[in-house]
Amino acid sequence: MDHFIHLLLELKRAGIEHAWLVGGVVRDFLLGREPSDVDVVCAGQDANAIAGKVGGAIVGKPPFCTVSTSLSGFPVEISLLTGPSIQKDLERRDFTINALAMDAQGRIIDPWGGESDIRCNVLRLVPAPTSPYEADPVRVVRLLRFACTLGFAVDDKTKEETKRFIQEHKTELASVPGERFGKEFLKGFAVHPYSFLTLLDNYSLLPTILPEIEAMRGVEQPVIFHPEGDVLQHTFRVVEEVQKTIAIRAEKKDIVLAFAALFHDIGKPQTARPHPKYEHTCFFGHDETGERMSLGLLNKWAVPGKIASQVASLVRCHMIPGGDFTERTGVKLLRKLGPELSEKLFDLALCDAKGAMGSGEKVISAQRLFRQIQSNLLRAGEASVRRLIDGNDIMKILGISPGRTVGRILEELDVAVGTGEVRGREEAIRWLKKTQTTLQGEENAGN
């Protein structure tokens, strides 16, 4: 903590006499954790004066604007003191564990018993004259996120007030900009997605802030494939399996896999149709619909584009590992997703199978074949998405023009490399010349 207190001394040298570390950085210090962000409150200054002394950018408008800067190599958010004292400033914060400050001498300012609540693993609202939720409704989701990520229990009085606020302010909660919730979802779903989803459901927040997930409730599925229940029950089970998967990994969070589990069947309510041949409801196209819906939601939540794109791709492809998986399927998958995202797809598919009370044997078998294909590609000197020979090479070697033949040859060569039949560039050239006549003859016959 001495290093972070040094930030206050650095501010003092810059001419900012009265400053305190506040909120999460103090909380994390008391929890024995590395702070994820550093917030500072300054008195007797305005944003322009602060920016002029320490540099950085002004974000927002007075009186709640901040100065985003860097001190001693750390990103720091500096806000202005609101009220006559630091104690009064802390009154406007959300929970007692965040209503903490520390001065340059290392003294903790704790008017609401936050340090005691941290020791007792309890979440309580700051007992301010008006509910902290009135100032910012997103705090109801933040409460559940903290309960989930910190493993803290919610104080009974806080629980009662939170549920009452949710019931009385549904319209207000539904109108909150998506990116505000997105910040909480990124943190809550990344580590304990099932616990977080369960809390959101227990506090009746799904209809209000996740209506696309709530729409899964009561959408029945064929019992032969889904004895566990409707689409929402299945989704809960899959997310639970993903949480178990994340827990055993060295990296204890995986937002891409968590979001993909949450959204993998999001298209089912829109695509549910009775099918006379099968005599049960079918969901044809739910993977494509789900891809579009998940991408739209993640964009609305302002989730980084790379994460959104990866999640949407997993949703689109989530049924592939459990289907008729061949060498051709495996090569195409590797070309489309690359090795890392493909492995996440198999994780998702296995959790999906277990969520439907299955063993996942087909997925495990497909993953085994996929890894053999990947090994063959590497042995042949290929990168996961770079070919030994590309389309331009084929046209030059075989003296042919652009067209469908080039694409077909590339696809067949992919399979030959993936199965181990072709193991290098020279073998690929010999394979090309041997295969050219057959492929062109088939195409001419088709025309």
Domains (ranges, CATH) in the chain?
2-126 (3.30.460.10), 209-379 (1.10.3210), 391-446 (no CATH)
pLDDT of 3 over the 80 cut: no
Per-residue pLDDT tens over the stretch 246-276: 999 988 899 999 999 999 999 999 999 988 7
Give buried/exposed letters for 134-169 (b at 16+ CB in 10 A, else e).
Answer: eeebbbbbbbbbbbbbeebebbeebbebbbebbeeb
Reported pTM: 0.88
Is the model's pLDDT at 351 over the cut of 90?
A: yes
Closest by CA position to 207, among listed 174, 184, 178, 240: 174
pLDDT > 70 in the chain, percent: 95
pLDDT tens per residue across span 164-216: 999 999 999 999 999 999 999 999 999 999 999 999 999 999 999 999 999 99
- Top pLDDT among 350 and 416 is at 350
Q: Please say if the pLDDT value at position 149 is more than 60.
A: yes
**pLDDT 10s digits, 89-133:** 999 999 999 999 999 999 999 999 999 999 999 999 999 888 999
Please, which residues bridge with residue 96 across strands?
A: none
pLDDT at residue number 25: 92
Number of H helices, E strands in the chain: 23, 11
Distance CA(432)–CA(442), nearest Å, equals: 15
Q: Answer for the pair 10, 40: CB distance below 8 angstroms, yes or no.
A: no
pLDDT digits (tens, 9 = 90+) for 378-428: 776 654 446 778 888 888 888 888 888 888 888 888 888 888 888 888 888
- CA 315, CA 21: separation in Å to the nearest integer? 42
What's the pLDDT score for residue 442? 56
pLDDT at 44 over 90: no
Res 361 pLDDT > 90: yes
- Residue % of the chain over a pLDDT of 90: 65
Tell me whether residue 399 is exposed, middle or buried, using C-beta atoms within 10 angstroms of its C-beta: 0 to 12, 13 to 18, 19 or more.
exposed
Whether the predicted pLDDT of 335 surpasses 60 = yes
The mean pLDDT value for 34-60 works out to 87
Mean pLDDT of 266-291: 92
pLDDT for position 326: 92
pLDDT, residue 128, reads 85
pLDDT at site 386? 60
